[in-house]
Each structure stands twice: as structure tokens, then as C-alpha cells.
Amino acid sequence: MTAVAQLDHYDAGQAQRIVDELVALYLKVYPGGSEFHSEDRYRRQLAGHMQSSGWDLVTATVKGELVGYTYGFPLSAQTRWWGGIKQPAPAGFTEEDGTRTFALSELLVHPAWQHRGVGRALHYELLSNRAEERSTLLAEPDNVAAQAAYRSWGWQKVAKLQPSWSGAPLYDVLTRPGNRGR
């Protein structure tokens, strides 16, 4: 896969010009049209996340076509990321200082390009040079393929979390040591 797809990094300012492409791919990956996976809600989420200091996007393109992307950002001391966390969570788990945790917020691969290594390449490209002690992500418990991939990439379940977005599912909270935490 990596020999075929081109991986590129974008900061929030650079990504503004491809927001419509990002949203279009999101809607191909989540075509159900539920309130939580709606275009409007995702545009609001993306816009809000892009305002986070240190926001980073990695795209995968093949012959100029977007086939996948991932993005994330360091959690600030005032983060709302942990709102909705369900116990048990280890003591001090949700304490942030802006350098402790990198939140991998989205990892999407076009259905026609899934199971070809695109997700793994995007994942490692986004996280390979992070300075944070750990990374975190939210995974749907019944997404067996994603859960298996995350486990194989070193992620471990820590707790459950239900975001405040209307219609948000209950997620598994996964973490893995960052480059600094290894």
C-alpha cells in the first residue's frame, strides 16, 4: 500500500482547502445518515477540532484521489475530551497539561481501500513523531475489525466514554504509549 498511496501532512490552515473532501470521505465511510454521523455534526466536530493547538492531519491519496485520512491533536489542560468518561478509570487518568496525551480523533479509509494497509500507514505516520507520553482514541466496541487492528498496533482498552454530542455511542477508550512514554 505505502508504495501506491502518497501520505501528506496538513496543519489546520492548509487543511481548510480540502474540508469538503474530508467530509465527503467521512460520509462514504459512515453512509447510514444517523444523527451522530450526519454531515452537519461532522463539519462542526471537524471545525472545532481544527482550532486545537497542534492539530495534525495526514491524508492518503492515490492518483490525486483521497482514499483515507487521520487527524488528532494534543489534549490541553482545559480539554473536554474526557467528559462522559465512565468509571473505572485509573486515578489521574484524565489529567492533562497540553503535552501528556495526543488524541487520535479520526482514522478513515475509503471502503474500496480498506484491508490494504492504508489505515496502518496513516496511523503510524500520524503518531511516529509525536512527543506526548501517550495517545488515546475512542473505538466503537462492536467494530471488530477496528478493535483487532488497534490491538495489533499496541492499543489497550482503559475505560468507556460517551461524548456529549447528541446521539453519540458509548465508546471504548483506548491508549498506547507515545514515543516519549516508551
Would the pLDDT of 77 be above 50?
Answer: yes
Q: What pTM was estimated for this model as a whole?
A: 0.93
The secondary structure of 12-59, three-state, reads: HHHHHHHHHHHHHHHHHHCCCCCCCCCHHHHHHHHHHHHCCCCCEEEE
Mapping DSSP to helix (H, G, I), strand (E, B) and coil, where does residue 100 land?
A: coil
Question: Rounded distance, CA 167 to CA 46, Å?
Answer: 17
Identify which has the larger pLDDT, 2 or 157.
157
* Residue ranges with strand state E in 49-130: 56-62, 65-74, 85-86, 101-109
Helix (H, G, I), strand (E, B), or coil: what is residue 11?
Answer: coil
Using the structure block, give the residue that is written with the C-alpha cell 475509503. 110
CATH number, domain 6-177: 3.40.630.30
Q: Report pLDDT for 181.
A: 47
First to last CA, the chain: 27
Mean pLDDT of 118-147: 95
